Amino acid sequence: MSRFLSLAAFLTVAGTLFAAAPASATGRPTPVIVDTARGHGNVVSFTFDDGPNPPDTLNLLKVLRKHHVKAVFCLWGDHVREHPEVVRAIAREGHVLCNHSMRHDDMSAWTPEQIRADLEATSALIRQAVPHAKIAYFRAPFGAWGQSPQVAAGLGMQPLGWRFDIEDWVPPGTDVLVQRIRDRITPGAVVLMHDGGGDRSQTVAAVDQIIPELRADCWRLTLPKTRG
């Protein structure tokens, strides 16, 4: 009888400890916004917002394949509906998918219920294009997070931020974009760039130019951390 009581006490304590453990300790997403690349030292992560956007997204995939780099693609729901074949190409190449909302709205004043409905609809579209796709991250449009980190974590997506943005939404020229990366890069940075929302050919060209340069300077391109 005493053995059964001891076992029951052990299970009670273990259950209490598991319930009290933070989400990161149990492998679940947390509401903490990730802005750091995996690894130590000179590591950097490339992330691309607002696609899919042919032909720029497809050209970017060719560049990343040529340089053997994996990146995160933050997908805009309405664009996913228009170009599901590009989402499939992103997944085929082994890149990581991120939910970037349905219509790129500012969610900062939305209720959790409104946020959840939007994120679920966006994820459903992504999975129509790529059945059973793993959607590892959520990134709030404009960085206007509001209550979205908690909602995203509850839906199994880690909130993904960034350390710096190359400000490519108004194309300033490929050389300018490359110089911005040189000037702003720091160890562990998650970089925000765009493959959608307009003509992103300069961004594609800048990525093609900067990757060999970074590697020559002993930088490693990794994915963002999985948990905050």
The residues of the chain scoring below 50 in pLDDT are 1-22
Identify the CA nearest to 34 among candidates 208, 152, 172. 152
Encode pLDDT of 113-133 as tens digits: 999 999 999 999 999 999 999
pLDDT of residue 150: 98
Task: Identify whether 194 is a catalytic site residue.
Answer: yes
Identify any residues that bridge with 74 across adjacent strands, giving them in sequence order.
49, 98
Q: Which of 50, 83, 194, 195 is catalytic?
A: 194
Q: Which of 49, 50, 195, 208 is catalytic?
A: 49
Return the ∠ at Cα 151 (arms to 157 and 35), rounded to 5°: 50
CATH fold for the domain made of 30-221: TIM Barrel (3.20.20)
Task: Identify whether 132 is a catalytic site residue.
Answer: no
How far apart, in whole angstroms, are the C-alpha atoms of residue 93 and residue 60?
11
pLDDT of residue 26: 58
* Lookup: tokens for 227: 């948990």
